[in-house]
Amino acid sequence: MSSKPTQAVSARYRWMVACQVLAATLGGYALASLFAAMLALALPVVAGVSRAASVLVATLLAFAFYTAVAIWVFSTRSAMRAWAGLVIGAAVFGVVFIALRGAA
């Protein structure tokens, strides 16, 4: 018996896990940063909170959001789905951020 198929599956699995780690760290950081920026601009408008308090609240919530994104990335079936979700989320947060920045 040859161990080639086992090594191929193992290499593919390792590549998928490495892609998920990159998605969780880099993509999660980017998404959490956009989330914090968007929330920091939205809180003064929606809740009437001071600008300093909104930045503090947004930053603290971004840590929890980053953790949730990292957990979600590893719960997806593939790294491609994780990256697709991160890109869609970043696009949504980016559009809202731009809209709020234009309104401010």
Please indicate, yes or no, whether the overall pTM of this predicted structure exceeds 0.75.
yes
Neighbours of 38 (CB within 10 A): 22
Query: What is the DSSP code (8-state) at residue 1?
Result: -
d(CA 98, CA 6): 48
Which pLDDT band, with edges at 50, 70 and 90, does 103 fall under? confident
Which is more confidently placed, 13 or 83? 83
The alpha carbons of the chain give a radius of gyration, in whole angstroms, of 18
Structure tokens at 87: 């890109």
d(CA 15, CA 13): 5
* 37-92 pLDDT per residue, tens: 999 999 998 888 999 999 999 999 999 999 999 999 999 999 999 999 999 999 99
d(CA 41, CA 2): 59
Q: Is 95 helix (H, G, I), strand (E, B) or coil?
A: helix
